[in-house]
Amino acid sequence: MSDYRNINIRNKRATFDYEIIEEYIAGIVLVGTEIKSLRLGKASLVDSYCYFERGELWIRNVNIAEYTWGTCNNHVPKRNRKLLLNRKELDKLQRSLQDRGLTVVGLRLFINERGLAKVAIGLARGRKAYDKREYIKENDAKREMDKAMKSHRG
């Protein structure tokens, strides 16, 4: 069984598809079998995004696998889950979403030092295909420089 403090599920696709403008840490409302499954590291944030409904922030398409030892009380893996932010942050996000081309995506799902499940969400702007190519070039160049620096030191 894995140590739940090491749980850090990332959405690598989000940083590739989107330019992250601002990042927030939000609590997430889970049921019993969801937190147990999350502590085993069985979750995915691919294609997850956030939306507002009646002034509350919800996240959709987060897949938390069914708990192996859950009985008939097991949870639905891809249900919509409520996110917990303070009112000032919610209002700021809602105002930001009025701008065209902005969205809120899930970046990573983790368990903090107090044992609470948290989601890092990011206010993001979609990248065009040529931006993605530029992003790949930058990462490759950075990787090459790091490799050269490492071999130069050794």
Q: What are the extents of the domains in the chain?
A: 4-127
What are the counts of helices (DSSP H) followed by strands (DSSP E) for the chain?
A: 4, 9
Binned at pLDDT 50, 70 and 90, residue 71 comes out as low
Strand partners, 39: none
According to the model, what pLDDT value does residue 4 have?
55
86-143 pLDDT, tens per residue?
A: 999 999 998 888 878 888 999 989 988 888 889 999 998 887 777 678 777 888 888 8
What token pair was written down for 40? 């085993």
According to the model, what pLDDT value does residue 119 have?
92
What's 4-127's CATH class?
mainly beta
Mean pLDDT (the chain) is 83
User: Between 147 and 129, whose confidence is greater?
Assistant: 147
**Whole-Å CA distances, 55 to 88, 94, 109, 138:** 12, 8, 23, 39
